[in-house]
Structure 1
Amino acid sequence: MDLRGIVFFDIDGTLTPSGSTSSFLAGRLGNQRDLDEAEDRYAHGELTNKRVSEIDAAGWRGAEATTIERWLDELPVIAGVEPVLSWCQSHRLEPVLASLAWQPVGQSLARRYGFTTNGGPRVGSSQSVYDGTVAEHFDEFDKRDRALQLAAERQVPVTRCCAIGDSRSDIPLFRALPNSLALNAGPAARAAATSAVDTDDLVAILPWLERWQRGLDPWSS
């Protein structure tokens, strides 16, 4: 595809508005209480992303990769994902995941909807069984840097990239791009984004995306 631009989508709180994907999985793994407390402390700046990842990964010890994949098939997502991705693809805009969610989460959403995966933390594993360690840490600055790296690899300038997210982890990427949308976001993300919208259906972002893509001269249709 001859790309006109890239749309970066956050996962937790954006594509999965009912809660974080880590909390969703922790509810099945049996460590949701500890994980929810850690994520709340991260949101308030009391814990680092690294420490939250370590607490989260510990709950994966002994879980099989196939079990995690099956649970993720049931992950609830915001309404309207399919038409928004169809719109992106019809306008030659690549829909890319930019998130701190674990890599299997991004891979699952990519299979279900057609997103491009791009980074994320990784739980250690051996012979398709998770060992409870963090094999690869990934914070909000890695998220920004990986997004910019992908754009460079695609030879797409940042002026033809935008980001959609909701929280503290989106702020570095918001600040690196000229256009960003805070979706159902907290105050800090709203302040960092160039626009904001509240909705329970992702289709509501299409007017904003339409205005953005019309400004991608000389590639505008």
Structure 2
Amino acid sequence: MKCIVITVGPKQVAKVVCDIWGFDDYYGSDYEVVHEEFTGTIVNYIGAEEKIQCLKDYCEKNVINPEECVAVGDGSTDIPMFRYCGKSIAINSSSKVRENAMYAVDTEDLRDILKYIT
């Protein structure tokens, strides 16, 4: 099983999360950093359509069928990924996001989604 992060947030933060938790890869928005500090400028934004493209690229590169993928998300930019993947889980999300996912979970512990993945 592969596990990747695709976020609208800073790719620099996504990298740290991947390094700590052992995710296989990451994609995120490119936030400008000057003198080791975020300036607040977003150089390259990863929105809903870009998230799909990141996922497609990853699946193609790793010969993975999107039907075998599980999208987990909490925001409206995750909805297109929910539709693209075989399973989808909304976590701590709004009703709009929940309505577009196969499953919805409110939790502080990501392990609670495992029963929907296996």
Q: Which residue of 2 aligns with 1:160?
A: 68
- Taking only aligned residues, the RMSD between alpha carbons, in angstroms, comes to 1.7
Query: CA contact under 8 A between 2:76 and 2:97: conserved in structure 1?
Result: yes
The percent of aligned pairs where both chains have the same amino acid is 25
Query: CA contact under 8 A between 2:82 and 2:100: conserved in structure 1?
Result: yes
Query: CA contact under 8 A between 1:118 and 1:146: conserved in structure 2?
Result: no
Q: Which residue of 1 aligns with 2:47?
A: 139
Q: Which runs of 5 or more structure 2 residues have no equivalent in the other structure? A: none
Q: How many angstroms apart in 2 are the aligned matches of 1:130 and 1:208?
A: 37
Q: For 1:52-71, what aligned pairs fall within 5 Å after superposition?
A: none
1:149 aligns with 2:52: no
Query: CA contact under 8 A between 1:140 and 1:172: conserved in structure 2?
Result: yes
Paired amino acid for 1:104: Q
- 1:156 CA displacement: 0.4
Query: CA contact under 8 A between 1:118 and 1:147: conserved in structure 2?
Result: no
- 1:136 CA displacement: 1.5
Q: Which runs of 5 or more structure 1 residues have no equivalent in the other structure? A: 1-92, 211-221
Structure 2 counterpart SS, 1:193: coil
Q: How many angstroms apart in 1 are the aligned matches of 2:92 and 2:34?
A: 38
1:187 aligns with 2:73: no
1:203 aligns with 2:111: yes
> Residue deviations 1:15-63, cap 9 Å, x none?
xxxxxxxxxxxxxxxxxxxxxxxxxxxxxxxxxxxxxxxxxxxxxxxxx
Instruction: Pick closer, same or farther for the CA change 1:132–1:204 going to 2, 3 Å.
Output: closer
Q: Which residue of 2 aligns with 1:108?
A: 16
Paired amino acid for 2:53: D
Q: For 1:25-104, what aligned pairs fall within 5 Å after superposition?
A: 93-104=1-12
Which structure features the higher share of helix residues? 1
Paired amino acid for 2:100: A
Q: How many angstroms apart in 2 are the aligned matches of 1:111 and 1:118?
A: 10
Match of 1:121 among 23, 26, 29: 29
Which structure features the higher share of strand residues? 2
Instruction: Pick closer, same or farther for the CA change 1:131–1:155 going to 2, 3 Å.
Output: same
**Which of the pair has the greater relative contact order for Cα pairs under 8 Å at 6+ separation?**
1
